[in-house]
Each structure stands twice: as structure tokens, then as C-alpha cells.
């Protein structure tokens, strides 16, 4: 008789299009089926253990939900069966579990934390590891306790489990009596440090993590363990860009599902609407809400949120898109550019592709030891442009700005996107070095700088040096009135895909993702930072716009001179 295999049965239904779901969940199921075909091969040293998969599913459905008016038994949804069973059924040839990490992204109130509560109690007392450490982790203790409290509720609702576990609520600690393992709630604010060797960790709401330090502290401590599970769960958020840990982890997870990245120890499942879905069409909501959208009560809550979002717009709409539909979102109306538009402008070209060509330079000179940036704009055919940027920072300010800006300036230095100047005691930008860098660019690539547009702030001591380059200097006033035309034009060039940049320039992309729009009383605009996020720097954007101002102003002068010359020549011919 064929064994019951609920994980594979569900995955097959999804791939056969018998289950309506989002594309990424489809890819997660397809990955499972493809892995079944190549299991135990030389290239794929893993195998599917149906018994282990069914064992945790059966365990989960012996648990009791005590929250609410009446107790009720756990009944997993088919999608939950797939996610939980997959993580325990796949094994290495030595018998240990294959998946050491997992990433599950789903809309709010669909049971992500609930599932981690199931897996935590199971690993703590029923997987045979003695004296193990299990953690529920988040940025705040209150958030870290959520998964811990799910485990405590399962235990307190079941007399048999009460013999297996001892709950110490005042310590946020659960003792596993059969294995002498412990389950503890930890947070950054409560002193989370490196060196934790956890056999299971629930890392909650990844979108709230400002960087990867908590994840690294937990995951790095598992290296010596034969098996572990670092289970990351989250709903998507608003922080989009190369310095957002959650956003970068999400992109990496998608690459795994798409087969672009190979990480055989990493389980991934993402429940969200697809890019072109109608967000107001109720039938699409189940893609992000496999639990809520399967009940009439849940659908009514989603309808109410949708009505409010449609009527109110703004932050209510953004919240609905992120929290209820699990799509990355931000209030694009207040930002300089759309990140989707920006991404479509990326290319693989470098300065080498523009050797010998003319360009316009923009210089954003920082105060003291902040970021200083130069940008080169190369006009191309069909009114298109290529932007190159490079930034500078004194070494004495490097670590300070890595911490304050939450930006990997050290990595960007290694990748040639920024030059860190001077020694560890140097706290001011070295403008002589910047001038030498520009001269070297001119020599190495035979480029011809037509004009340099510069921000007059902090420029007094540098103007004499700039004159050595032998090209016109244009002072660029930093007012909306002066910058409006160039700002709008750059905005439209990006929207119409007429601007190109090197996709490897993460610093430039980060800067463009930070830039917001401010307007004066006449409706003229310029870029600025989020007032409450003063360390989300936009210096490369400022430099790029300065370069475009130089292009527009100098081009006008050239056109005027050419028109006058043509007129004089015509008059001479008539005489």
C-alpha cells in the first residue's frame, strides 16, 4: 500500500494548477517535485523521508488551540502541511535534516508564528537532541515572546505536554523535560549577543530588523551543529533598497526559488500577490492569505481593510498592500523615482564603454567628513544619458558612518564605489585627492569634461584647484527654483528609460532609493532626505542632478552661440 505523503500530494496539485496561488508559492512546490526526481543522485545528496514529514504533521494535529472562547484541535491548512512537512522530510545521506535555514513570507495573521511554535516544541522534546538551546528572537522582547507564547499555550492546553515541558513565564523560559533542552525568548534590547548554538531559532518579523546582526549572531552559532533550523518569518514592509536586510534576504530567497541561486540548505516559501494582479479583486487575496482568505470571517476583515485603503489612500493604502497583500510598498508619490523604473535603467556598461567621449560633471561637496560625490553624465543619441558616480569619505569617519547610516561603506570601498582617504585619524575630506582622482579618470579613459557643476557650499577652498582641470565651472544654487528643470528632467528620463547606470553601483541605487521630493510655494521641486532619516544619504543623487544642470545650462549656451554664428554667416552671405 502506498504511503500517505501529504506534502507531495499538495505540491502536485499546486503544480497541476488545481490550487490557486501566487507564482512564488508555485515555485516552492515545483522545487520540491524537481528535488524528488533528482534525490540520491551524485549531484544531489538528499532524500525525501516520508515518515519524518508525516510524523511532524501528525504531531501538529495532536495539539490544541486554547486561545478563544473554546478550545479546539489544530487542523493544518494544506499549505501549512507543505511548509512544515517539507522542512522535516528532506534529509541528508547521513540522516540529518537537509534544511538548516528557512524563510517564509506571508501576510499578517496567517499563522507564521503559530507554525514556529509547533516546530519549536517538536524539536525541543521529540527530535532526540539533549541539552539543546532553542530561541525565539526579535528586535524587541515583546515581539520575541510571541512565538514563545505560542509554545507555552500549546503546552498549557495539553496535560500530556505539561508532563513533557515546564513553563517558566517570568523568565521567558520553557524547559524540555525529556531532553533537558531549553526554549528562551531573546531580543536585541535584552542583550542578544553572538555565540548562541541553537538547534532551533524563530526569528520574527524580519522587516523590522535594521540590519543582519541578529540573524548573523544566531546563524553563525550553528555552524558546528549537525542539524539546526533558523526559521525566519516576516511580512514584507516599506524599507526597500540595498541596505535593507529584509529586502535583500527576500531577493535572495526569490533567486533560490527561481533557480538563479543555489542554496540546498535553505527552505523558501513566499505568499504574495503577483506583480500584475488587481489588488482589489477578492479572488487574488488568497495568494497572500492562505488562512484568512479561506474563512468568511477572514474575508470580511480583508474587505473592510480594502475599503478603508481605497477610500483613504496614502499610508492606509500602503499598509493594505504590505500587511494584507504581502507586497513591498512605499508611498511612491513622495519619492523622487519609482524603484521599478530605476531597476529597468540598469545595465552592464562601465566607463570603458564611454572612452574618449564628452561628459558633464557634478560635484556634491560634503561638510567636514560626510560623503562627497562626483557624478559624470554622458549625453548619448536619442536624448539618452549614462551616469557614473564615485564617492569619497575620510577613513576616520568610516566606522562611524557604517553604524549611523546602516550602510556597508566598507564593502562599497572594496568594490570600488567609494574611496576611503587618509588614515584612521583623518576626519576631513581630502579635496586634493578628489582632484587627483578626476585627473586620473580623464587620463585613463580619455574623457572630455565640458563643464563642472558644483554646489557652492563648502567649495570656497576647492575652486582654485578645480580650475586646474581647464574646463568651465558652474555654480549651482541649491534651491528648488534653480534645480527644478533638471530634477524634473532626470525624473522623466528615468521613467522613460532614457538614463542608464551600472547595475553594480549599489551606492548610487541606495542614494536614489532614499531621495524624496520637496516643493516650494510655486510648485518647483528638488530632492531631499526623509526628515526623520537624516542618515539615508542622497549625495550621489545631488551630484547627478548637478551634472544634469551643467548639461542643460551649457547646452543652452552652445545652442545660442551656434544660432548666432549661423545668423552671422547668413548675413555675410547675403552681403
- Same domain for 356 and 477, yes or no, is yes
- Same domain for 497 and 370: yes
For 422-558, strand residue ranges (E) read 448-454, 473-475, 499-502, 516-519, 525-528
**pTM for this structure?**
0.70
Establish if 470 belongs to a structural domain.
yes
Which of 308-312, 554-558, 559-563 has the largest mean confidence? 308-312
Q: Looking at 16-30, 205-219, 384-398, which range is the least confident one?
A: 205-219
- Please answer whether residues 500 and 347 qualify as being in contact, where contact means their C-beta atoms are separated by less than 8 angstroms: yes
pLDDT at 463: 79
Grid cell locating 228: 539546526
Specify whether 325 is located in the same domain as 404.
no
Residue 362: pLDDT over 70:
yes
CA distance 226 to 199: 9
Q: Are residues 210 and 259 in the same domain?
A: yes
| Between residues 546 and 567, the one the model is more confident about | 546
Band (564; pLDDT cuts 50, 70, 90): very low
pLDDT for the residue numbered 562: 43
- Answer yes or no: do 254 and 313 share one domain: no
For the segment 519-544, the average pLDDT, to the nearest whole number, is: 82
- Can you give the length of the chain in residues? 575
Task: Answer whether residue 567 is part of any domain.
Answer: no
Give domain status of residue 286, yes or no: no
569 within a domain of the structure (yes/no): no
In this structure, the answer to whether residues 40 and 114 fall within a common structural domain is yes
172 lies in a domain? yes
> Rounded to whole angstroms, how far apart are CA atoms 183 and 232?
16
pLDDT at residue 548 is higher than 60: yes
Q: Are residues 35 and 157 in the same domain?
A: yes
**What is residue 220's predicted lDDT score, i.e. its pLDDT?**
86
Distance CA 260, CA 274 (A): 19
Greatest CA separation for the chain: 111
Query: Which pLDDT belongs to residue 333?
Result: 66
Highest mean pLDDT of the ranges 229-243, 363-377, 385-399, 516-530: 385-399
What was the pLDDT predicted at 195? 53
Residue 183: pLDDT over 50: yes
pLDDT tier for residue 533 given thresholds of 50, 70 and 90:
low
Same domain, 200 and 81: yes
Q: Cell digits for 545? A: 542632478
Range(s) of the domain holding residue 484: 339-560
In the structure grid, which three cell numbers stand for residue 133, read together? 538551546
Asked if residue 290 belongs to a domain, the reply is no
- Say yes or no to pLDDT of 323 above 90: yes
pLDDT at site 461: 66
What pLDDT score was predicted for residue 560? Answer: 45
Q: How many domains in the chain?
A: 3
- Of 330, 347, 380, which one is at a domain's C-terminal end? 330
| Span 195-205, average pLDDT | 87
Instruction: Say what percent of the chain tops pLDDT 70.
Output: 91
Do 240 and 301 lie in one domain? The reply is no
Highest mean pLDDT among 141-150, 241-250, 331-340: 141-150
Q: Is residue 570 part of a domain?
A: no
d(CA 295, CA 503): 44
Do 555 and 418 lie in a common domain? Answer: yes
Please report, rounded to a whole number, the percentage of residues in the chain having pLDDT higher than 90.
62
CB atoms within 10 A of CB 520: 12
Verify that 447 and 354 share a domain, yes or no: yes
User: Which pLDDT does position 530 carry in this prediction?
Assistant: 67
Whichever domain contains 180, its CATH number is 3.40.50.300
Indicate if 114 and 148 belong to the same structural domain.
yes
Cα distances (angstroms) measured from residue 462 to each of 430, 466, 553:
10, 6, 22
Domain for residue 534, yes or no?
yes
| Interval 414-427 mean pLDDT | 87
Amino acid at each position: 500500500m502506498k504511503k500517505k505523503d501529504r506534502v507531495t500530494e499538495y505540491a502536485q496539485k499546486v503544480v497541476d494548477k488545481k490550487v490557486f496561488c501566487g507564482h512564488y508559492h508555485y515555485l516552492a512546490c515545483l522545487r520540491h517535485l524537481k528535488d524528488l526526481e533528482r534525490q540520491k543522485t551524485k549531484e544531489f545528496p538528499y532524500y525525501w523521508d516520508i515518515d519524518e514529514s508525516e510524523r511532524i504533521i501528525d504531531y501538529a494535529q495532536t495539539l490544541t488551540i486554547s486561545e478563544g472562547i473554546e478550545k479546539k484541535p489544530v487542523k493544518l491548512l494544506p499549505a501549512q502541511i507543505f511548509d512544515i512537512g517539507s522542512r522535516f522530510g528532506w534529509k541528508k545521506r547521513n540522516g540529518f535534516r537537509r534544511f538548516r535555514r528557512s524563510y517564509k513570507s506571508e501576510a499578517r495573521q496567517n499563522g507564521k508564528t503559530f507554525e514556529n511554535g509547533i516546530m519549536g516544541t517538536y524539536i525541543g522534546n521529540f527530535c532526540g537532541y539533549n541539552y539543546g538551546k532553542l530561541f525565539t528572537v526579535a528586535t524587541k522582547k515583546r515581539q520575541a515572546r510571541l512565538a514563545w507564547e505560542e509554545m507555552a499555550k500549546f503546552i498549557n492546553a495539553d496535560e500530556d505536554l505539561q508532563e513533557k515541558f515546564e513553563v517558566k513565564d517570568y523568565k521567558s523560559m520553557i524547559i524540555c523535560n525529556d531532553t533537558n533542552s531549553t526554549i528562551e525568548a531573546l531580543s536585541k534590547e535584552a542583550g542578544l549577543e553572538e555565540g548562541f548554538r541553537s538547534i532551533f531559532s524563530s526569528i520574527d518579523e524580519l522587516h523590522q530588523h535594521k540590519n543582519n546582526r541578529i540573524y548573523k549572531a544566531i546563524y553563525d552559532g550553528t555552524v558546528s551543529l549537525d542539524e539546526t533550523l533558523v526559521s525566519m518569518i516576516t511580512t514584507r514592509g516599506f524599507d526597500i533598497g540595498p541596505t535593507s536586510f529584509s529586502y535583500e534576504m527576500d531577493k535572495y530567497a526569490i533567486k533560490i526559488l527561481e533557480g538563479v541561486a543555489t542554496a540546498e540548505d535553505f527552505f523558501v516559501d513566499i505568499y504574495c500577490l503577483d506583480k500584475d494582479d488587481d489588488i482589489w479583486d477578492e479572488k487574488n487575496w488568497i495568494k497572500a492569505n492562505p488562512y484568512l482568505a479561506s474563512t468568511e470571517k477572514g474575508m470580511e476583515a480583508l474587505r473592510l481593510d480594502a475599503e478603508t485603503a481605497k477610500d483613504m489612500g496614502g499610508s492606509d493604502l500602503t499598509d493594505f498592500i504590505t500587511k494584507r497583500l504581502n507586497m513591498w510598498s512605499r508611498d511612491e508619490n513622495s519619492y523622487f523615482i519609482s524603484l521599478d523604473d530605476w531597476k529597468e535603467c540598469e545595465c552592464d556598461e562601465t566607463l570603458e564603454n564611454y572612452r574618449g567621449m564628452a561628459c558633464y560633471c557634478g560635484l556634491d561637496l560634503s561638510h567636514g567628513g560626510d560623503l562627497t560625490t562626483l557624478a559624470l553624465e554622458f549625453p548619448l543619441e536619442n536624448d539618452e544619458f549614462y551616469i557614473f558616480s564615485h564617492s569619497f569619505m575620510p577613513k576616520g569617519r568610516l566606522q562611524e558612518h557604517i553604524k549611523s547610516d546602516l550602510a556597508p561603506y566598507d564593502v562599497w570601498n572594496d568594490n570600488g564605489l567609494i574611496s576611503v582617504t587618509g588614515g584612521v585619524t583623518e576626519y576631513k575630506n581630502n579635496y586634493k585627492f578628489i582632484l587627483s582622482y578626476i585627473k586620473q579618470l580623464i587620463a585613463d579613459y580619455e574623457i572630455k569634461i565640458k563643464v563642472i557643476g558644483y554646489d557652492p557650499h563648502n567649495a570656497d577652498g576647492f575652486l582654485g584647484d578645480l580650475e586646474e582641470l581647464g574646463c568651465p565651472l558652474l555654480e549651482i544654487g541649491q534651491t528648488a527654483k534653480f534645480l527644478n528643470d533638471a530634477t524634473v528632467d532626470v525624473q522623466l528620463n528615468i521613467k522613460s528609460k532614457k538614463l542608464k547606470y551600472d547595475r553594480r553601483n549599489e551606492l548610487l541605487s541606495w542614494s536614489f532609493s532614499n531621495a524624496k521630493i520637496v516643493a516650494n510655494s510655486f510648485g518647483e521641486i528638488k530632492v531631499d532626505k526623509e526628515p526623520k532619516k537624516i542618515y539615508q544619504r542622497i549625495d550621489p543623487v545631488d551630484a547627478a542632478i548637478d551634472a544634469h544642470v551643467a548639461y542643460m545650462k551649457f547646452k543652452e549656451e552652445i545652442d545660442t552661440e551656434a544660432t548666432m554664428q549661423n545668423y552671422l554667416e547668413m548675413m555675410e552671405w547675403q552681403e
